[in-house]
Amino acid sequence: MGHNMARTSAAETGREATPARRVNIGMVVLAVTALTCLLGPFLWHFEATQIGAGLPFLGPGFEHPFGTDDLGRDQLARLMVGGRITVIVAAGSALLSILIGVTWGVLAAARRGWMDEVLMRTADAFMAIPQIVFALVFVAAFGSSILSLTIIIGVLLAPTTARIVRSVAMSELSSDYAVAARACGLGRTRVMATEILPNVLPTIMVQATINVAAAIILEATLSFIGLGIQPPDASWGTLLLQGYGKFYNSAWLVLVPTVWIVVTIWALTATSESLRSRARREAAA
Amino acid sequence: MGRFIVTRLAWSAMIIVASSILVFLVLRVLPSDPVLARLGASTGVDPDVIARLRAEAGLDDSIITQYLSWVGGVLKGDLGSSYASQIPVAQIIAERLPVTLELTFLAMLAVVLVSVPLALAAVFRGRSTADKAIGFLTSLGISVPLFVVSLILILVFASTLGWLPSRGYVPFIEDPSENLKLMILPVASLAFVASPLLIRHMRESMSEAESEAYVRTAVGKGAVRARVLLQHILRTSLVPTLTMLGLIVGYTLAGTVVVEYVFGLPGIGSLALEAALKRDYAVLQSVVILIVFMFVATTFIVDIVNGLIDPRVRVGAQHG
């Protein structure tokens, strides 16, 4: 044990510089991506819907940095507008999953007993079924508008969040400061809200970042298999689906959205990892 | 052990029942009407025809009657008929299931063959270049969505190099070599996404075991590194590895929805997707419950095997 502890702490100090730098790269990439998608369409001189902005199936060039699609629409404009939908769905569903998941997890941790049992067993049952399979059923039933996709993905991501929040809240509840607060006569709900929740916040932040990544993957997958955002709207997944049908004409139509999605998810993963190690360092300090 | 099996069995049955109710309700409560979807956009269809089709499909009964008659049918092996094609659902599934089973089996084989040696290699030398390289590859693998992997593999091996076909299916019995050739890219996609999970998990559980006293004892007694790794460390990480493998079977089954669609394989994953697109609830609900069943059954088997290997698992489950 002692041997192991010595090694991890040595490793931690040795890596001190690296996580801090990765924070910045991951977060910078995220900020640039989000800004490009949200503001880019106002600044860029082609409209996403403008047919014949260039010749069809152009490769990347000065005029059209990411080429054009089969109708000669500018691919960069389409990617930025598509990214907007992706950002809205991902942010909305991550927020929803955090709202549901935190309430769910905190309630289970605070109440214990049968309530805890029922809440956690429900979470287990949900998690026992692959998300994409549930998503198929929900989308078939509720349709695939931006709103319903956001709700569906948010609900599907909630149980995992609930489990994690519960376990952190439980361990915080047994710590000295929580016991002290209870001893001072504060009610259980009060302790939860004013003492425990602020300490669970770092974990919630990490989970929120992970959920955004998971939401992007789920939305893109659903759109790619034809169950997500429907034309004329197009998220990154929809663009990939359209590019997939034409990639013998132009591989760029698949390649560019692919790289963009992978970079975004990598940036989210890097951000969540640095948030996690920061939370760990703060907890240790 | 008997009690452990019974509790796990009851839990598995509960999940299947709960999810069957959920799936059934979600598909019924909503306004979109499968009969109208079947008739398509054609307007001016005689209302009597619509009423007759609804009655034939049993859509006029109460939800509880519909659910019970579906469950009763499922237990007898009668899953009803597809709303769209009128072919019995059981027959459609029977035709398509072998494709998915083959795909899943080959993918799991690939995952184990890739992950176990890599995880061992990563742990063998501790913090080495190999360990770092494997660590980097696994975090990359976790960041890439399954359909993106499939697309990249098609771009490289099918459209650029032209080594492998990108779409199609031939039954193994008809032409084994062609069948396997068509399976390479789908299996590789699934394995690429699933292996990092197993490698990471094994690596963590093995490095944990490495710091245990009995490992130091073994090292202190002069056991060679390879022997400590294979005989002591690998054995302890067997239970967590099997648990992860069970989860991966589930992810892989879910992944077949995407992979079968991309590579044009006629399995139950693509069947579920087609049914969802066509709002063919008769097919969709049965396929989804089948996938849930396979997933839960895998978890159940893994739990029982873990209970056999490690008594703490079965005792812990009873007290927890």
**pLDDT higher than threshold 70 for residue A24:** no
pLDDT at A92: 95
Decide if B267 contacts B99 (C-beta within 8 A): yes
Does the interface predicted TM-score (ipTM) exceed 0.85? no
Q: Select from A121, A110, A281 the least CA-distant residue to A195.
A: A110
d(CA A222, CA A216): 10
Determine contact: B258 vs chain A, CB below 8 A: yes
d(CA B216, CA A36): 54
Buried b / exposed e along B118-138 (16+ C-beta atoms within 10 A): bbbbbbeeeeeeebeebbebb
Angle at B12 between CA B91 and CA B257, to 5 degrees: 45
- Candidate from A125, A224, A262 with C-beta closest to B19: A125
**pLDDT higher than threshold 70 for residue A10:** no
Decide if A156 contacts A218 (C-beta within 8 A): yes
Q: Which of A19-28, A139-148, A153-162, B196-205 has the highest mean pLDDT?
A: A153-162
Query: pLDDT band at residue A93, thresholds of 50, 70 and 90?
Result: very high
**pLDDT higher than threshold 80 for residue A64:** no
Token pair for B162: 């032209």
Determine contact: B7 vs chain A, CB below 8 A: no
**Three-state secondary structure readout of A215-231:** HHHHHHHHHHCCCCCCC
d(CA B238, CA B119): 13
* DSSP label at residue B33: -
State the CB neighbour count (10 A cutoff) for residue B141: 18
Nearest residue in A to B16, CA atom? A125
How far is A137 from chain B, CA to nearest CA, in Å? 7
Domains by residue range for chain A, with CATH:
24-39+67-284 (1.10.3720.10)
Say if the Cβ atoms of A130 and B253 lie within 8 Å. yes
d(CA A100, CA A92): 12
State the CB neighbour count (10 A cutoff) for residue B63: 11
What three-state secondary structure class fits B62? coil
d(CA A47, CA A42): 9
- List all residues 6 or more positions away from B128 whose beta carbon is below 8 Å from its beta carbon: none
| Cα A71 to Cα A51, A85, A229, A256, distances in angstroms | 6, 21, 19, 17
pLDDT at B109: 93
**pLDDT higher than threshold 90 for residue A96:** yes
**pLDDT higher than threshold 70 for residue A146:** yes
Determine contact: B32 vs chain A, CB below 8 A: yes
- Over residues A217-276, the pLDDT tens digits come to 999 899 888 888 887 788 888 888 887 877 776 777 788 888 888 888 888 888 888 888
Query: pLDDT band at residue A90, thresholds of 50, 70 and 90?
Result: very high
**Dmax over Cα atoms in chain B, in whole Å?**
87
How far is A190 from chain B, CA to nearest CA, in Å? 29
How far is B31 from chain A, CA to nearest CA, in Å? 8
How far is B174 from chain A, CA to nearest CA, in Å? 29
Q: Select from B13, B11, B18, B21 the least CA-distant residue to B285.
A: B21
- List all residues 6 or more positions away from A23 whose beta carbon is below 8 Å from its beta carbon: A270, A271, A274, A275, A278
pLDDT at B112: 92
d(CA B61, CA B58): 6
Decide if A239 contacts A257 (C-beta within 8 A): yes
Q: Which residues of A touch B84 (CB under 8 A)?
A: none
Mean pLDDT of A55-60: 68
Give the mean pLDDT per block of 10 residues along chain B (320 residues).
Answer: 85 87 80 57 65 69 79 80 79 90 92 88 74 78 83 82 78 79 88 88 80 78 76 78 86 89 90 88 87 89 85 62
Interface of A with B (CB under 8 A): 1, 3-4, 11, 124-125, 128-133, 136-143, 213, 217, 220-221, 224-227, 240, 244, 247-248, 251, 254-255, 258, 261-262, 265-266, 269
> pTM of this prediction?
0.82
Mean pLDDT of A60-85: 75
Q: Select from A131, A144, A140, A124 the least CA-distant residue to B253.
A: A131
